[in-house]
Amino acid sequence: MNDTAPKDPGGEARVRASFAAQGLMETLGASLVSVSPGLVEIALPASRAVSQQHGFVHAGAIASIADSAAGYAALTLMPPGAGVLTAEFKINLLAPGIGERIVARGRVVKAGRTLTLAQTDVFAVRDGTEKQIALLTATLMTVAGRDRVSD
């Protein structure tokens, strides 16, 4: 790195590189909207490709982007070289996933040395209006010193 190299104070480059390596996000068609310290937003266009049997967005697709948003929100506050793994998450589905687009906004509730608690609010966007459709709560683990698990 030299003097003209871009800085990454919010961890955006790190999150973008890791997100690009998540094959599932590409398969679902999800994109990383924004990254700032402790906050990450991911969007997913609604389509038959991510649907459940009634045509709504599948709870699993909603959980997938919500889990990634929580995990990356946590990663922005982890030391360089550490990797992030989800230990557990819980998701409450509040309303069917109906709309043009699903937006997941992850935020860190408490960053700990080993465990971080994060939440993701998930919204369906329909005709320009957002409606909350899910709330995910996740425990993320900071993994250090494992070659395969570094972000």
Residues lying near a second copy in the complex (CB under 8 A): 18-19, 21-24, 26-28, 47-55, 58-61, 63-65, 67-68, 83, 85-96, 109-110, 112, 114-115, 117, 119, 132, 135, 137, 139, 141, 148-151
Residue 84 CB, nearest approach to a second copy (Å): 9
Residue 83 CB, nearest approach to a second copy (Å): 7
Residue 7 CB, nearest approach to a second copy (Å): 22
9 CB-contact burial (10 Å; exposed 0-12 / middle 13-18 / buried 19+): exposed
The sign of the CA dihedral 82, 88, 92, 95 is positive
Q: Please, which residue, 39 or 59, has the CB nearer to a second copy?
A: 59
Distance CA 103, CA 101 (A): 7
The sign of the CA dihedral 20, 67, 64, 33 is negative
